[in-house]
Structure 1
Amino acid sequence: MPKIKSKLPLYVVREVSRHGRVKYFYRIGKGERIRLPDELNTPEFKEAYKQAIIGYKIETPRGIISPPNTLRWLIDHYRESSSWKAFSPATRKQRENIFLNVIKRSNNTLYTAIDRKSIVAAVEARSETPAQANHFLKAMRGVFSWALQNDYVVIDPTAGVFPLKYKSAGFAPWTMTDLLQFFDRWPIGSKPRLAVELLLHTGLRRSDVVRAGWQHLRGSIFTLQTQKTGSTITIEFPNALLDVISATETGSTSFLISEAGTPFATESFGNWFRDRCNDAGIKKSAHGLRKLSATLSAEAGAATHELMAQYGWSNVKQAELYTKGADRVRLCIRNSRRVAGQIETEIALTRKLNEDSNKDRPKP
């Protein structure tokens, strides 16, 4: 008697591999194939099938599988795109954290259910931390802009949604007083002193300074491709910096190493450096030192394109923040000298006129 095949649930397809293994997938039309457990009529299969229908993530021994039309499914596809791969590792990590939070807060909603009103509400819900709200908007705009271009959606729900306006000075810049105070606490030969000298002379971000090493140095010329923007910077190390490097314990591939003798990860370096700043009585960060470096460069007369080259900026506005400030200082000083000179001239002229006037007056 022939064996009667059991009827498969709706949208479930059965496939047999070339090795004879039976596999089941959830698939609507020509959409994404979602792997289901191998055994029909089991509680695990029924639960996975139910989750696939209602749009929730499917957890199987093979990991988390997202059914089509959910936010996680859309983001997973976005993360396979060239648009995503063009981001720096730091940007991808930041946005992945945002996506995980969004998926959790939305209970992995259907992405087709997200409209402009939903995005506005989500931004407002984060308004107590406006910088994070704007990062959220930027991340979601990236997803839906890509989705629109690839016909996953017909309307970008982030279009016309504006970032929150707020005033922030960002990381507090170091002052020369801070720098001398740090020097007094950490002498040449110490790792914190090497860190601050590298950050000051190069203006590198944390993600780059931890990678800087002997392999990037040819004589006194230092060349490195930055991680965030991918731009290549070339700097001539002054003798003072080379002397500090020579006087300090370094690694074979990185100038800065931990107490264990291993290269720093970006996050661990940031925490370590902040602790060393606290030891010196300075409540500031490595990024604030980058600001001091850029300020000193601008005050020394560096042009906008020169600042962009050294600090790896791709945006002119970033460099102009420093050049305009430096120009304003120079113009103010020049004008104050001009005013002082004019005052002296006017005083001398007035005195002479008064003296001449007194001479012409008849004596009593």
Structure 2
Amino acid sequence: MSRIKLKYVDSFTDRYGVRRFYFRRTKKDKRIMLPGLPGSDDFMSAYQLALDGQPPIARTKEGSPAAREVVPCSFDALVLRYFASPEFLALKTPTRKAYRLAIERIVRDDKIGPLKVADFRREHLKAMMAKRAETPSSANDTLKKLRILLKFAIDISWRRDDPTIGMKKFAEGEHHTWTEEEIALFEERWPLGTLQRTALALLLYTGQRVSDVAGMSWKDVNQEGTAIHVTQDKTGTKLWIPIHADLMSQLNEWPRHSATDAMLYTEYGKPFTAKGFGNKMADAIEAAKLPEECVSHGIRKAASRRLAEAGCTAHEIASITGHKSLAEVERYTKAASQQMLSQAGIAKLRAKVVPNSVS
């Protein structure tokens, strides 16, 4: 019989002869007891929580299905199986944390834990979406997480159909795309050589998300200094992005720190976290007295707009921004494309000579 070897897991036999398993990353850490046997749903769910640095599920009063009596083939049971599945474990740690919190919140708030998965109907889903109608992003995320769970339920033969198929998402407000005037206002407030100006240049000339720019390092620049390699935090997409001459000139105004290879660093010489960098940009935008709709993500959209205005195709833009969907790129650059097409269309009309009016 083969044994399951799991990192940071050890065991001992207690005085009653029962084999106990626990998680401990280092000898300085406290032991975290793991329920059941390695490979079981409860064990693997608790193990994954420990790996993610979250409190053991046994401490949860009602947020986790593991703290309730689990009805067979219910949503509680499905969630436990999903959290222990290869599909879930293959996700990146930040994604696993976000998915776990969102799924447990949905199951708790909508009280569907004891509900048999096979009894879940489209009417249930519609009611859950309607409940969140005033916050479309929350409603759409609920739909997304339920679609993941129900697809998993089909894979393990707990139901045959997917009631989320054909369910439309709610319309969400789009992030405002920064205009050239707004970019100029930011640059006027933050001159060359400042952290804020350098951050803007990286966001604007690479078209990346805040989380990816926060993690950029000089180690990722090729030997010629002409391109930077990026692995997107959200999607895992690997990109090779040429460094624009204007970006390089602005990077040259920002001193490198001897204690870190990070392109952007805090006042203490430490690399930024994604959240810390996002907060820093929010403060910089506010200090520049830009309109409230100007947020950091709008700079990524401005980068796409600039590329579109330069005549780049959707494929060329996606090769830089890393978008998987060309439709998303086209949505970002819709205004620029309309302007260019209208100009090209008018230019193709042959001019007519209008005779002077006869007096």
Q: Do both proteins adopt the same fold according to a TM-score greater than 0.5, normalized to the shorter chain? A: yes
Query: TM range, normalised to the smaller chain?
Result: 0.7 to 0.9
Identify which of 345, 348, 353 aligns with 1:346.
353
1:234 is paired with a residue of what secondary structure? strand
Identify which of 254, 257, 271 aligns with 1:248.
254
Q: Match for residue 220 of structure 2?
A: 216
Distance in structure 2 (CA, Å) of the matches to 1:205 and 1:245? 18
Q: Match for residue 317 of structure 1?
A: 327
For residues 1-364 of structure 1, the aligned pairs below 5 Å read 21-22=17-18, 65-66=66-67, 67-68=69-70, 69=72, 71-87=75-91, 91-107=95-111, 109-112=113-116, 115-116=120-121, 117-151=123-157, 153-156=158-161, 158-160=163-165, 162-166=167-171, 168=173, 170-218=174-222, 219-251=225-257, 252-282=260-290, 283=292, 284-322=294-332, 325-339=335-349, 342=351, 345-347=352-354, 350-351=355-356
Q: Where does structure 1 lack aligned partners over 5 or more consecutive residues?
A: 1-15, 35-56, 359-364
Letter in 1 for 2:252: S
Letter in 1 for 2:191: P
Counterparts in 2 of 1:26 and 1:216: CA distance versus 1, 3 Å: closer
Distance in structure 2 (CA, Å) of the matches to 1:324 and 1:163? 22
Distance in structure 2 (CA, Å) of the matches to 1:324 and 1:259? 39
User: Pairwise CA RMSD of aligned residues?
Assistant: 3.3
Once the two structures are TM-superposed, the CA of residue 322 in structure 1 deviates from its matched residue by 4.4
More helix by share: 1
Q: Match for residue 51 of structure 2?
A: none
Given that 2:143 and 2:164 are in contact with CA atoms closer than 8 Å, whether structure 1 keeps it comes out as no
Given that 2:151 and 2:162 are in contact with CA atoms closer than 8 Å, whether structure 1 keeps it comes out as no
Distance in structure 2 (CA, Å) of the matches to 1:305 and 1:193? 29
Given that 1:173 and 1:291 are in contact with CA atoms closer than 8 Å, whether structure 2 keeps it comes out as yes
Q: For residues 126-157 of structure 1, what are the alpha-carbon distances to aligned partners after superposition, in whole Å with 9 as ceiling and x for unaligned?
A: 11111210111111110110121112x22456
Given that 1:210 and 1:266 are in contact with CA atoms closer than 8 Å, whether structure 2 keeps it comes out as yes
**TM-score between both structures, scaled by the size of structure 2:** 0.74
Between structure 1 and structure 2, the one with the greater Rg is 1
Letter in 2 for 1:257: Y
Distance in structure 2 (CA, Å) of the matches to 1:188 and 1:95? 40
The 4+ residue runs of structure 1 with deviation greater than 6 A are 23-27
2:145 is paired with a residue of what secondary structure? helix
Distance in structure 1 (CA, Å) of the matches to 2:42 and 2:90? 27
Distance in structure 1 (CA, Å) of the matches to 2:221 and 2:300? 20
Letter in 2 for 1:346: V
Q: For residues 101-140 of structure 1, what are the alpha-carbon distances to aligned partners after superposition, in whole Å with 9 as ceiling and x for unaligned?
A: 1233245722416612322211111111112101111111
Q: For residues 323-356 of structure 1, what are the alpha-carbon distances to aligned partners after superposition, in whole Å with 9 as ceiling and x for unaligned?
A: 55433212211233445x52xx230xx34xx88x
Letter in 2 for 1:266: A
Which stretch of the first structure deviates more once superposed, 326-335 or 18-27?
18-27
Once the two structures are TM-superposed, the CA of residue 164 in structure 1 deviates from its matched residue by 3.9
Once the two structures are TM-superposed, the CA of residue 91 in structure 1 deviates from its matched residue by 4.3
